[in-house]
Chains A and B, each alone.
Chain A
Amino acid sequence: MASGKRLKIALVGNPNSGKSSLFNYLTGLNQKIGNFPGVTVEKKTGACSLLDGSVVEIVDFPGIYSIYPRSLDEQIVSEVLLDHHSSATPDKIVVVADATNLKRGLLLLTQVIDIGLPTILVLNMMDLVAKAGISYDLQLLSKKLGVPVVPINARNGIGINELKTQLAATLPVSDKTIFSIWDDAKAPVKQLRDRVGIDNDYEAYLFLEQPQSLGFLNSERRNIVDQIRTEYKFFPGKFQGAETIHRYSFIQDLLNEITLKASLDQSWKKRSRQLDHILTHKVWGYLIFFGILFLIFQAIFAWATVPMDFIDGAFANLSRYVNSALPKGPLTSLLAEGVIPGLGGIIIFVPQIAILFAFISALEESGYMARVVFLMDKMMRKFGLNGKSVVPLMSGVACAIPAIMATRTIDNWKERTITIMVTPLMSCSARLPIFTILIALIVPDQKTLGFFNLQGLALMGLYLLGFVAAMGSAWVMKLIINVKERSYLMMELPTYRIPKWSNVGFTILEKTKAFVLEAGKVIMAITIILWVLGSYGPGDRMSKAEEVVQEQTKNMRLTEEGMADRIAAYKLENSYAGIIGKAIEPAIKPLGYDWKIGIALITSFAAREVFVGTIATIYSIGSVKEDDETTIKARMKEEINPDTGGPRFTPAVGFSLLVFYTFAMQCMSTLAVVYRETHGWKWPMIQLVYMTVLAYVSALAVYQILS
């Protein structure tokens, strides 16, 4: 439009109706992820050019079966559709329905029509309808509903131009009313409309039925709604069942009229049924599932290392370059040692997140993910989780941040909260550098039983430990958290399909962007705070570092590099981080750690893998490249414990540290994501406390038993 204000088009529809494919088709790479105002539900928007050259904004909404929400994600749809007078109100609603399952898709459509917003019906998967031998009179359907009907195939783009034409045309509100509100509800609806000013009866009626979806009302109007609800004894969903029956009987009549040729031929589903025989089989089903899990593991660990090493190296080089190219000073130091490594610390996770979401999205697209939920639901329920918790837990192995973002599909509040709370116990990839170096230090590189590498076994054991702890904690929380809300599964098992790869690509892009932008901010901030803590200290100790070290070492013949390393170590020791490390020494001594390890514990709070770098600095080998494990390892081996005269890193200390890092919530970014997802500091704080306590107590036990 010339005025610069773009038309807003909302895409709504059932899950599995192909809504995302359509969204991707319409918007291509012009997609943006944001948030709906005031809530953390992700909002996907994109610009779409119509045939006449005008541009409209498309908003993709979470998949829903009805205007009555079942989860937080779904609630946003009713909130937006019920709020007719805000800047976020869509100008047109496109309801996407799976044409092979028209009956269920039309339920939502009739509700949207009754709300009184201009609506277009899009029938997707017309190719399958043709295959099944069904044919509909779409003109009659359009006439009966009073809305345009556009048949499409979102997989290959057939019908998209017709849809674009419809989007550009003026669209009146449908003149049909499919469901007239009950006589019982007429009086309160009239009162509400008079006092609050609502456009139509059904909208007002939904105000009374769904008080939870009215976040947009100011308190004055909200009070009026509440008053009327109390006066007429409304409770959420009071007439919902009767309304659903009423709508379905209308839909059945409608379908009887518009169906030109019905077909009971379900042979297009035959292959899907055969696949289900194997994929949900009690032996093959689990074997295949664990095979796929193994493949994902393998991909995240083995394949991701190549780009990760590259990113790591690139940022280290950049850091070095900046350090040498710019004049020395605090700003250069901030840039080279704070900002650039901070950025690197964010980008380094991108390959793993991309690979993980490539798998998850392909599995979801194909319909297999619903079968995973189906296979695992019974087991997970015993631990207070849900079949849908499998995906977040699995993803937690790569990184807890996208994993926690993936819990939104769980409708039940308690199950979702527990999943969020235990997911960080799954050993994420950031723990891997610590695991490898400590295991290399304390576990002999030997084979047992002929072919099992001891170090490999130890690593596997740590992953298992994290998993067991996650399930155990879930079980305990199931007993503690007392909620009346009922948990249910009730999930469609969609027909298997070959994934549409461009959709997979879009998902990867979307998730990666969300991670870099959302978690990235926090990681960046914490990195800079820690850089300050590590680079500054009280008084003039820092500025005198060089003199002091030179004084101390004047009898040693040190190389320039060795000197610089010693100064760095001295500086770290006397920085705020060093002082905190020393202050917590009494607390961590029972675990077998000294203040040097204490400093590493503190600096690794932003991201666990910082542990290795800090250890390198504190042991005056900072100039050694970080991936030079043998040097760091050798130096750690030499470190002497002054109390015993023996090595500092005994097996007892090593295992204690390993266990500590397996359980500890050493990840500020995860806490930030949990804060976002649970709308407050309560759950992230509980999580921080319980995981730290678990880590401390377990590490204490391990050290005391082994030493």
Chain B
Amino acid sequence: MLKTGTTHIFALFKFNLNKSGMTRLKNVSQMKPGEVGIVAGFTDDHLSVKLMEMGCLPGASVRFNFTAPFGDPVCISVSGYELSLRLDEAATISILN
């Protein structure tokens, strides 16, 4: 039997951090220019799928490069290229550093 609900895939991988009580982790939107960290997981099922396709995978290292003039969007380096994200998108990526 298949499970239902959007968290199904995460039942397999357990990295939706909202559901494992690890919400106190820092996220990408709180990083400073030049700071580096390791992707620990995501807090948004829908966005995580897209972020992972773009190479933003759990365990990958991220470097926070710079922000746009009004602090949003931001530019990070991940998987060897530069990715721009809105601040609220960046906030769904939890990191360890």
The answer to whether residues A66 and B53 also contact, given A486-B46, A493-B82 and a CB cut-off of 8 A, is: yes
How far is B78's CA from A104's CA once the two chains are assembled, in angstroms? 11
How far is B54's CA from A70's CA once the two chains are assembled, in angstroms? 12
- B66 near A276 with CB under 8 A, answer yes
Secondary structure of the A side of the interface? Answer: helix
Chain A contacts of B10 at CB under 8 A? 241
Can you list 7 pairs linking A and B with CB atoms under 8 Å apart?
Answer: A101-B80, A237-B49, A273-B65, A280-B69, A381-B86, A490-B50, A490-B51
Chain B contacts of A373 at CB under 8 A? 84
Chain A: interface residue total (CB-CB under 8 A) = 49
- B52 near A248 with CB under 8 A, answer yes
The one of B47, B49, B66, B79 in contact with A104, judged by C-beta atoms closer than 8 angstroms, is B79
Identify the closest chain B residue to A379 (Cβ): B70
- B9 near A490 with CB under 8 A, answer no
- B55 near A103 with CB under 8 A, answer yes
Q: Is A233 an interface residue (CB 8 A)?
A: yes
Q: Is A184 an interface residue (CB 8 A)?
A: yes
The one of B9, B47, B53, B72 in contact with A239, judged by C-beta atoms closer than 8 angstroms, is B9
Chain A contacts of B4 at CB under 8 A? 233
Interface residues of B in 41-64 (CB under 8 A from A): 45-55, 57-58
Q: Is A475 an interface residue (CB 8 A)?
A: no
Identify the closest chain A residue to B2 (Cβ): A184
How far is B55's CA from A66's CA once the two chains are assembled, in angstroms? 11
- B85 near A489 with CB under 8 A, answer yes
How far is B67's CA from A276's CA once the two chains are assembled, in angstroms? 11
Binary B-proximity of A179-210 (CB < 8 A = 1, otherwise 0): 00000110000000000000000000000000
Smallest distance from the beta carbon of B87 to chain A beta carbons, Å?
9
Smallest distance from the beta carbon of A269 to chain B beta carbons, Å?
8
- B52 near A280 with CB under 8 A, answer no
The one of B2, B49, B84 in contact with A232, judged by C-beta atoms closer than 8 angstroms, is B2
- B73 near A378 with CB under 8 A, answer yes
Q: Measuring CB to CB, which residues of chain B are less than 8 angstroms from any residue of chain A?
A: 2, 4, 6, 8-10, 12-13, 45-55, 57-58, 65-66, 68-70, 72-73, 75, 79-86, 89
Identify the closest chain B residue to A272 (Cβ): B82
Identify the 9 closest CB pairs spanning chains A and B, nearest first: A282-B69, A493-B82, A241-B9, A242-B9, A241-B49, A244-B52, A66-B53, A104-B55, A489-B86
Smallest distance from the beta carbon of A483 to chain B beta carbons, Å?
15
Identify the closest chain A residue to B80 (Cβ): A101
How far is B47's CA from A204's CA once the two chains are assembled, in angstroms? 25
How far is B6's CA from A107's CA once the two chains are assembled, in angstroms? 23
Q: Is A634 an interface residue (CB 8 A)?
A: no
- Which residue of B72, B85, B86 has the most chain A CB atoms within 10 A of its CB atom? B86
How far is B51's CA from A241's CA once the two chains are assembled, in angstroms? 10
The one of A233, A285, A491 in contact with B84, judged by C-beta atoms closer than 8 angstroms, is A491
The answer to whether residues A492 and B12 also contact, given A68-B53, A241-B45, A377-B68 and a CB cut-off of 8 A, is: no
Smallest distance from the beta carbon of B79 to chain A beta carbons, Å?
5
Chain B contacts of A292 at CB under 8 A? none
The answer to whether residues A238 and B81 also contact, given A374-B73, A488-B47, A489-B89 and a CB cut-off of 8 A, is: no
Chain B contacts of A495 at CB under 8 A? 82
Q: Is A506 an interface residue (CB 8 A)?
A: no
Q: Is A65 an interface residue (CB 8 A)?
A: yes
Q: Is A286 an interface residue (CB 8 A)?
A: yes
Identify the closest chain A residue to B11 (Cβ): A242
Smallest distance from the beta carbon of B85 to chain A beta carbons, Å?
6
The one of A241, A489, A494 in contact with B52, judged by C-beta atoms closer than 8 angstroms, is A241
Q: Is A464 an interface residue (CB 8 A)?
A: no
Interface residues of A in 52-107 (CB under 8 A from B): 65-66, 68, 70, 100-101, 103-104, 107
Q: Is A138 an interface residue (CB 8 A)?
A: no
- A490 near B83 with CB under 8 A, answer yes
Smallest distance from the beta carbon of B53 to chain A beta carbons, Å?
5
Q: Is A370 an interface residue (CB 8 A)?
A: yes
How far is B52's CA from A248's CA once the two chains are assembled, in angstroms? 9
Q: Is A697 an interface residue (CB 8 A)?
A: no
Binary B-proximity of A320-362 (CB < 8 A = 1, otherwise 0): 0000000000000000000000000000000000000000000
Chain B contacts of A490 at CB under 8 A? 47, 50-51, 54, 83-86, 89
Q: Is A131 an interface residue (CB 8 A)?
A: no
How far is B30's CA from A431's CA once the two chains are assembled, in angstroms? 48
The one of A248, A377, A486 in contact with B73, judged by C-beta atoms closer than 8 angstroms, is A377
- B48 near A241 with CB under 8 A, answer yes
Interface residues of A in 137-189 (CB under 8 A from B): 184-185
How far is B74's CA from A192's CA once the two chains are assembled, in angstroms? 44
- B83 near A378 with CB under 8 A, answer no
Chain B contacts of A286 at CB under 8 A? 69
Q: Is A295 an interface residue (CB 8 A)?
A: no
Chain B contacts of A242 at CB under 8 A? 9, 12-13
How far is B13's CA from A239's CA once the two chains are assembled, in angstroms? 11
- B84 near A370 with CB under 8 A, answer yes
Smallest distance from the beta carbon of B17 to chain A beta carbons, Å?
14
Binary B-proximity of A279-311 (CB < 8 A = 1, otherwise 0): 011100110000000000000000000000000
Interface residues of A in 236-283 (CB under 8 A from B): 237-242, 244-245, 248, 273, 276-277, 280-282
How far is B70's CA from A285's CA once the two chains are assembled, in angstroms? 12
- A244 near B49 with CB under 8 A, answer yes
- B53 near A244 with CB under 8 A, answer yes
Identify the closest chain B residue to A98 (Cβ): B81
Smallest distance from the beta carbon of A362 to chain B beta carbons, Å?
20
Smallest distance from the beta carbon of A469 to chain B beta carbons, Å?
24
How far is B50's CA from A492's CA once the two chains are assembled, in angstroms? 13
The one of B6, B9, B66, B83 in contact with A491, judged by C-beta atoms closer than 8 angstroms, is B83
How far is B32's CA from A581's CA once the two chains are assembled, in angstroms? 65
- A241 near B86 with CB under 8 A, answer no
Smallest distance from the beta carbon of A386 to chain B beta carbons, Å?
10
Q: Is A533 an interface residue (CB 8 A)?
A: no
The one of B13, B50, B55, B83 in contact with A70, judged by C-beta atoms closer than 8 angstroms, is B50
Q: Is A375 an interface residue (CB 8 A)?
A: yes
Binary B-proximity of A395-412 (CB < 8 A = 1, otherwise 0): 000000000000000000
Identify the closest chain B residue to A108 (Cβ): B53
- B84 near A488 with CB under 8 A, answer no
Chain B contacts of A494 at CB under 8 A? 81-82
Identify the closest chain B residue to A381 (Cβ): B86
- A378 near B50 with CB under 8 A, answer no
Chain A contacts of B84 at CB under 8 A? 370, 373-374, 489-493
- A492 near B82 with CB under 8 A, answer yes
| Sample of 8 further A-B pairs with CB below 8 A, known A241-B10, A488-B89 | A101-B79, A103-B80, A185-B2, A232-B2, A242-B13, A286-B69, A490-B83, A492-B83
How far is B10's CA from A100's CA once the two chains are assembled, in angstroms? 31
Smallest distance from the beta carbon of B32 to chain A beta carbons, Å?
16
Smallest distance from the beta carbon of A383 to chain B beta carbons, Å?
15
